[in-house]
């Protein structure tokens, strides 16, 4: 006699029920005791209401730095812990805490975490795909994403030597060429000040050219170059992959198996294109090396390829160049563009006037200022403007993730090794206990008046401690020269129809991107004195002659 389907279901039901119960209990035990990498840290408050699997990841919204800043204010906790999916993390929101963790305890906080998307998928896969194209190495590697080890230490040392002291002097011709090319392109494209323009593309090309010239001795001679457009759009996409917000699968492991692959595919395509142009530039350098040997103005790639002291591998060379290109381009561009936006506002008119007066008090003439600004930072107001721009609009709001390298004690709490760590530069840079009641205002004068009271690192735009940006002096010099030349050349005013949004949160075109780029705006740039400016261009053309080969040069439009 055959049994009915109902009968057989009833007979297996107890077994299914027991298996489900055991599995359910197992999952609960796993989630309770084993899912999160580290147990709660006693003595550091935890933001309430973390979700079971995602923790606080989605609660941080699309703009993680702003939400963290709001939590710090709401709960009165400058330092708190959250769960980013399965990873416990601490976010530092005040100047003092950021300083204490990253400077005082720098040997304990100098590691960087390994992320599934960036290190596990994108780097590993494209490294394999492109083997044979000289790229034997991990394609995504940059110093800024590498864990702390002997290799990273060596790479930091090498990069540091290119961006300080005598190396900065050698960069003068290229800095002259690029900043003059930017100012003169704006001058002629705006019909000598008659038409408004959007400054973005000029500053993007400037920042990219500064980095390609520094690293490879090549540049884009026109803002219309199609490869320039491609690279800029790829850089935008790559930036979105570095953002914490854009990669939930790094923190919530089951998402890795739930159809996030389309995004990985895009990342790999873009990175592959980027790797191709980076390796083409390196191969060009390698090909021309015999002819250029002995020339005084070697670029970084040439110096790396001819190094005989550090024992650099091909992977070191590629990691260093990749790190310089990605570290420098977006940060310089985004700092410059929002500062121009701020200078164009009604409040910015007074800043421009003070800046111009200060410049004229330390240099003999506009021509001298235009020429000498590449050698030293003599105008305190412009130096203050640079600092204030970085304080008020740090391009990276939540700094690149760190990981603790060893255990240490913070205010009685035992901070474990392997903990994910974020410095919230947006919050720390506006800490009223350090910058005073006007911390929420853009005020370059603060660095002239009471600025001496703010201890190093003065602000956290460059990070701090053992993994601080390797190019602080170099970046400050570039920003000084860019702002000074712009202010000596023009009066900058907002467009009536498309002014800049300068609100410290709302100015960003994409709140979720890791690097904060200002939304588009237009400005009018009225030359202060056309004849003097044209003389400055000619002098600069003379002085920077030979900074690049004729193939990449950009004769003045006149």
Instruction: State the residues that interact with ligand HEM by CB under 6 A.
Output: 143-144, 156, 159, 163, 323-324, 327-328, 331-332, 335, 390, 395-396, 399-400, 402, 461-464, 467-471, 474-475
Q: How far apart are CA 557 and CA 46, in angstroms?
A: 60
Give helix 472-489 / helix 172-189 axis angle, nearest 10°: 30
The CA dihedral of 505, 233, 303, 312, to the nearest 10 degrees, is 90
- 241's enclosing H/E stretch is helix 226-242
* Contact yes or no for 465/189 (Cβ under 8 A): no
Phi then psi for residue 396, to 5 deg, are -105, 110
In the bound state with ligand HEM, the residue whose beta carbon lies nearer, of 246 and 425, is: 425
Q: How far apart are CA 408 and CA 23, in angstroms?
A: 38
Rounded least distance, CB 509 to ligand HEM, Å: 18
* Contact yes or no for 364/523 (Cβ under 8 A): no
In the bound state with ligand HEM, the residue whose beta carbon lies nearer, of 173 and 400, is: 400
The CA dihedral of 240, 243, 244, 249, to the nearest 10 degrees, is 30
In the bound state with ligand HEM, the residue whose beta carbon lies nearer, of 54 and 206, is: 206
Q: How far is CA 456 from the centre of its chain?
A: 20
* Contact yes or no for 215/325 (Cβ under 8 A): yes
Is residue 469 part of an annotated ligand binding site? yes
DSSP H helical ranges for 419-529: 425-428, 432-435, 472-489
End-to-end CA distance of the chain: 102
DSSP H helical ranges for 76-149: 95-99, 124-129
Of all residues in the shown chain, the one whose CB is closest to ligand HEM is 463
Q: How far apart are CA 83 and CA 251, in angstroms?
A: 9
Rounded least distance, CB 300 to ligand HEM, Å: 8
Rounded least distance, CB 397 to ligand HEM, Å: 10
- b vs e for 222-248, b when ≥16 Cβ sit within 10 Å of the residue's Cβ? ebeeeebeebbebbbebbbbbbbbbbb
Cα angle 157, 163, 167; round to 5: 110
What are the binding residues for heme?
469
What are the binding residues?
469
């Amino acid at each position: 006699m055959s049994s009915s389907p109902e009968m057989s279901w009833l007979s297996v039901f107890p077994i299914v029920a027991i298996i489900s119960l055991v599995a359910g209990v197992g999952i609960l035990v796993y989630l309770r005791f084993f899912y999160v990498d580290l147990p709660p840290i006693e003595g550091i408050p935890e933001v309430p209401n973390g979700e079971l699997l995602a923790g606080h990841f989605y609660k941080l919204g699309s703009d993680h730095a702003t939400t963290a800043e709001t939590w710090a204010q709401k709960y009165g906790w400058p330092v708190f812990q959250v769960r980013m999916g399965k990873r416990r993390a601490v976010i530092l929101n005040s100047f003092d805490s950021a300083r204490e963790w990253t400077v005082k305890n720098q040997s304990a906080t100098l590691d960087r975490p390994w992320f599934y998307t960036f290190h596990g998928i994108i780097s590993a896969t494209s490294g394999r795909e492109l083997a044979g194209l000289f790229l034997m190495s991990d394609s995504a590697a940059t110093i800024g994403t590498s864990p702390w080890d002997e290799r990273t230490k060596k790479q930091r040392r090498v990069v540091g030597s290119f961006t300080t002291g005598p190396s900065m002097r050698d960069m003068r011709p290229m800095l002259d060429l690029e900043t003059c090319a930017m100012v003169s392109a704006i001058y002629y494209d705006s019909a000598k000040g008659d038409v408004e323009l959007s400054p973005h593309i000029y500053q993007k090309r400037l920042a990219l050219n500064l980095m390609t010239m520094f690293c490879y001795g090549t540049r884009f001679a026109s803002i219309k170059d199609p490869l320039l457009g491609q690279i800029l759009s790829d850089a935008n996409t790559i930036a979105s992959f570095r953002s914490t917000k854009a990669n939930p699968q790094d923190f919530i492991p089951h998402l890795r198996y739930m159809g996030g692959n389309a995004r990985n595919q895009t990342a790999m395509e873009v990175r592959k294109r980027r790797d191709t142009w980076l390796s083409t530039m390196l191969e060009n350098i390698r090909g021309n090396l015999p002819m250029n040997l002995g020339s005084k103005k070697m670029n970084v790639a040439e110096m790396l390829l001819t190094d005989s002291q550090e024992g650099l591998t091909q992977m070191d060379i590629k990691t260093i160049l990749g790190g310089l290109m990605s570290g420098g381009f977006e940060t310089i561009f985004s700092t410059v563009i929002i500062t121009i936006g701020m200078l164009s506002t009604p409040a910015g008119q007074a800043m421009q006037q003070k800046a111009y007066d200060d410049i004229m008090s330390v240099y003999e003439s506009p021509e001298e200022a235009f020429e000498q600004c590449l050698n030293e930072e003599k105008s305190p107001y412009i130096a203050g403007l640079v600092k204030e721009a970085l304080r008020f609009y740090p391009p990276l709001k939540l700094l690149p993730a760190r990981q603790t390298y060893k255990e240490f004690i913070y205010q009685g709490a035992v901070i474990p090794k392997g903990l994910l760590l974020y410095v919230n530069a947006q919050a720390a840079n506006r800490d009223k206990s350090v910058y005073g009641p006007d911390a929420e205002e853009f005020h370059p004068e603060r660095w002239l008046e009471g600025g001496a009271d703010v201890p190093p690192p003065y602000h956290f735009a460059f990070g701090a401690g053992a993994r601080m940006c390797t190019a602080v002096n170099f970046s400050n010099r570039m920003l000084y020269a860019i702002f000074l030349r712009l202010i000596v050349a023009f009066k900058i005013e907002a467009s009536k129809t498309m002014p800049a949004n300068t609100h410290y949160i709302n100015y960003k075109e994409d709140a979720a991107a890791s690097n904060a780029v200002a939304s588009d705006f237009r400005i009018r740039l009225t030359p202060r004195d056309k004849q003097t400016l044209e003389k400055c261009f000619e002098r600069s053309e003379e002085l920077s002659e030979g900074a690049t080969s004729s193939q990449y040069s950009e004769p003045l439009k006149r």
